[in-house]
Amino acid sequence: MRIGTRGSTLALAQSSHVRVRLPGGPDDHHLEVIETSGDRNPMASLRRFGGKGIFTKEIEEALLLGRIDMAVHSLKDLPTDMTPGLRIGALLAREDPRDAVVARDKTPLAQLKRGARVGTSSLRRKAQLLARQPELSVLDLRGNVPTRIARVEEGRFEAVVVAAAGLLRLRLIDRATEILDDAFMLPAPGQGILAVQIREDDAAAAAAVAPLHDPSAAAEAAAERSLLAALGGGCLVPIGARARVGNGRITLAGFVGHPSGRPALRRSAEGRSDQAEAVGRELAEAFLHEGARAILDSARGDEVFP
């Protein structure tokens, strides 16, 4: 099987994670590196440069054209409206979905001084950071995970916030100063989950990836992405979500906020795990009733990074 992937160190680690789990072993499959729009503009602000699919469009095109047999994505990068002709063949067991902090001198976020520079390219992270610590200076920072860590070591930032899953997959988790719990910061919908995308009519690829599918990850993803879709959001909007499955039930916590830190909304919903999408829609309706649409519209229209 030909596996499409981005060329970053993290993307290759994720695709290799899938490759070794496919039937026949890694020698029967190979990675095809495909450059995406987001990769061609590594330092440009995602908000000013991008739209949905900036890390997936070119890979999906290669899949539709038959140049690859499957594609591996971070689910949080994959738009909620699937490209016609393609589908998700498997969602792998979820890695730690939380966000992590890498700080100079291992200083906890709560002890950072007024005006301390914290780097992230995520409006979701910025909104939640400033909702808790409005005295911070949260600045736009792109680049791969090792590059972001290097910016702290160089003294350009006092701290950066990245996905714990990325640190784990790159074996850099020992660099984390702290892992942020849900009470502080909710992750992006689908964070920590790898998605294997295939063509709708490819029975061979479907059979190959089926054993990789994790039902619990799928239910959590369904709830989180349903919330995101119902709010009209994408990977560039300040929406956080964390679902948990257990004993036939699913709980979903959500966040909607302006990247300035105010206003900020938090709510939760619960239901049967086999009705995960309905739980997501229910939570979205509650957010919309509280004014989430105006918050998100304002976030899209403002220049929210210096």
Domain ranges of the chain: 2-93+193-213, 99-180, 224-301
User: Which range (48-52, 83-87, 115-119, 167-171) has the least confidence?
Assistant: 48-52
Across 32-41, 161-170, 204-213, 224-233, least confident range: 32-41
Model pLDDT, residue 118: 98
Catalytic site includes residue 77: yes
Q: What letter does residue 290 receive in the DSSP assignment?
A: T
Residue 305 has pLDDT above 70, yes or no: no
Q: Classify residue 81 as exposed, middle or buried by CB count within 10 Å of its CB (0-12, 13-18, 19+).
A: exposed
Q: Taking each helix axis as running N to C, give the angle between helix 276-289 and helix 215-230, from 0 to 180 degrees, rounded to the nearest 10.
A: 30
The pair of three-digit structure tokens given for residue 23, joined into one six-digit string: 């039937």
Residue 48, pLDDT score: 52
The domain 2-93+193-213: what is its CATH number? 3.40.190.10
Query: Tokens 């909710």, residue?
Result: 186
**Residue 185, both tokens:** 């910061």
Higher pLDDT, 52 or 32: 32
- CATH topology agreement for domains 99-180 and 224-301: no
Q: For position 236, what pLDDT does the model report?
A: 72
Residue 179's Cβ-count burial label (10 Å; 0-12, 13-18, 19+) is middle
pLDDT the model gives residue 97: 98
91-116 tens-digit pLDDT: 999 999 999 999 999 999 999 999 99
Between 35 and 221, the more confident residue is 221
Q: Name the active-site residue from 77, 99, 140, 202.
A: 77
What percent of the chain has pLDDT above 90?
Answer: 85
Task: State the Cα–Cα distance between residues 178 and 163, nearest whole angstrom.
Answer: 11
User: pLDDT by residue (tens digit) across 152-197?
Assistant: 999 999 999 999 999 999 999 999 999 999 999 999 999 999 999 9
Distances (CA, A) of 162 to 13, 103, 118, 177: 16, 11, 11, 11
Between 140 and 299, the higher pLDDT residue = 140
99-180 has which CATH code?
3.40.190.10
Q: Tell me what pLDDT residue 55 has.
A: 84
Burial (CB < 10 A; 0-12, 13-18, 19+), residue 105, is exposed
Mean predicted lDDT score pLDDT of the chain: 93
Assess whether pLDDT exceeds 70 at residue 235: no
Residue 26 pLDDT? 84
Structural fold of domain 224-301: Double Stranded RNA Binding Domain (3.30.160)
Label residue 276 exposed, middle or buried (CB < 10 Å: 0-12, 13-18, 19+).
buried
Residue 39 has what pLDDT? Answer: 73
Instruction: Report the pLDDT value the prediction gives residue 94, as an integer from 0 to 100.
Output: 98
Question: In the chain, what percentage of residues exceed pLDDT 70?
Answer: 93
CB-based burial label for 62 (10 Å; 0-12, 13-18, 19+): middle
- pLDDT for 45 equals 52
How far, in Å, CA of 41 to CA of 51, rounded?
13
pLDDT attached to residue 295: 93
The predicted-structure confidence for 123-142, as pLDDT tens digits, reads as follows: 999 999 999 999 999 999 98
